[in-house]
Amino acid sequence: MSHGIFITLEGIDGTGKSTHTRRLAAYLQKRGIATVVTREPGGTKVGEQIRRLLLNPKITRLSSLAELTLMYAAREQHLEEVVRPALARGHVVVSDRYNDASFAYQGYGRMLGVQTVQALDRIICGRTQPELTLLLDLDPQTALNRARKRNSRRRMKNTRFENHGLKFQKRVRTGYLALARQQPRRIKVIQADRPVAEIEAEIRKIVDALLARRHVRVRSKGVTRRR
Ligand code: TMP
C-alpha cells in the first residue's frame, strides 16, 4: 500500500513541462513536504541509458513496438527503484512524464493503439497510477518551434521525437486531449501559452487542493494522510 502522492506532468515537446516540474517540486519542498522529483524515460541509471538510446536522432530503425517496450523497461526500473519506495515512505513524487506519455506518443503518435499500451501498462504499472496529472497544452507548431529553439540555444540536437515533425506532434496532442476527456478528475489541462508565473500559480492551486482533499498533514519530514 502506498501512502504518498504521485503527481505527473505531461504534454507534447516544447510546452515547458520540465520547468514546471522543477518549480512544483521546489514549491513543495519549501513547504516542508518530502518530495522526490524525477523523470521518464530515465530517473535511474539504467533508465537514463535507455533514454539516451530512445532520444538519439541517429537511431532511425527502431520499431514502434520496440520503442514502446523500451519505454516500459525504463518505467519498470523507475517504479522499482524510485517511485514505489518513495510512495511507500509517504513522499510526494513529481515526475516529468509517466505512462500517459506512452498512451499519447506510442498509442496515438505511433498509432500502436491504446489497447497495446494498456496491456503493458497492466503488467508494469498495475495500480501505481498517478493521482494527479497536469497536462500542459499548447498548439503543436508553437510547441515544436519552442523545443527546437531551446535545443539550438543549448547546442543540443533535436530528439528522435522532435525530428518526427508536426504531424506526429499533432497526433500526440490529440491523444493527450482524448485521455484528459476520458479522465477529467485526474488529468487537468493547463493552457501553456501564458506567462510562466501564471501557469505556475494555476498548478499550485490545483496541487494545494489535492493536498487538502487528501487531508495531508505537512510535516518537516514527509507527508502522511490523516486517514
Ligand atoms: P523529454 O523528457 O525531454 O520530454 O523527452 C522525452 C521524449 O520521450 C519526449 O519526446 C516524449 C517521449 N516519450 C515517449 O514517447 N513515450 C513515453 O512513454 C515517455 C515517457 C516519453
Q: What is the pLDDT of residues 125-177, one digit of tens each?
A: 999 999 999 999 999 999 999 999 999 999 999 999 999 999 999 999 999 99
Question: What average pLDDT does range 54-67 have in this prediction?
Answer: 96
- Contact residues of ligand 1, CB 6 A cut-off: 13, 39-41, 55, 71, 96-97, 101-102, 105-106, 159, 161
- Structure confidence by residue, pLDDT tens digits, 5-37: 999 999 999 999 999 999 999 999 999 999 999
Q: What is the pLDDT of residue 94?
A: 98
In whole angstroms, what is the distance from residue 119 CA to residue 133 CA? 21
**CA of 215 relative to ligand 1 center, distance in Å:** 33
Question: What grid cell was written down for 129?
Answer: 497510477
Longest dimension (CA), the chain: 51
Which residue, judged by its Cα, is nearest atom 10 of ligand 1?
A: 161
Alpha helix positions (H), 92-165: 99-101, 114-124, 140-153, 160-163
For residue 219, what pLDDT is reported? 52
pLDDT of residue 135: 98
- Percentage of residues in the chain having pLDDT higher than 90: 93
pLDDT tens-digit profile of 196-216?
999 999 999 999 999 999 878
- Angle at which helix 114-124 crosses helix 64-78, to 10 degrees, equals 30
Task: Give the alpha-carbon dihedral of 92, 93, 96, 98, to 10 degrees.
Answer: -130
Is 50 exceeded by the pLDDT of residue 220?
Answer: no
Distance CA 48, CA 84 (A): 18
Average pLDDT over residues 97-105: 98
Averaged pLDDT score across all residues of the chain: 94
> Which cell goes with 54?
530512445
Q: Give the pLDDT of residue 224.
A: 44
What does the pLDDT average to over 89-111?
Answer: 98
Report the alpha-carbon distance of residue 139 to residue 191 in Å, rounded. Answer: 10
Q: Atom 15, ligand 1: which residue's CA is nearest?
A: 105
Q: What is the mean pLDDT of residues 166-191?
A: 98
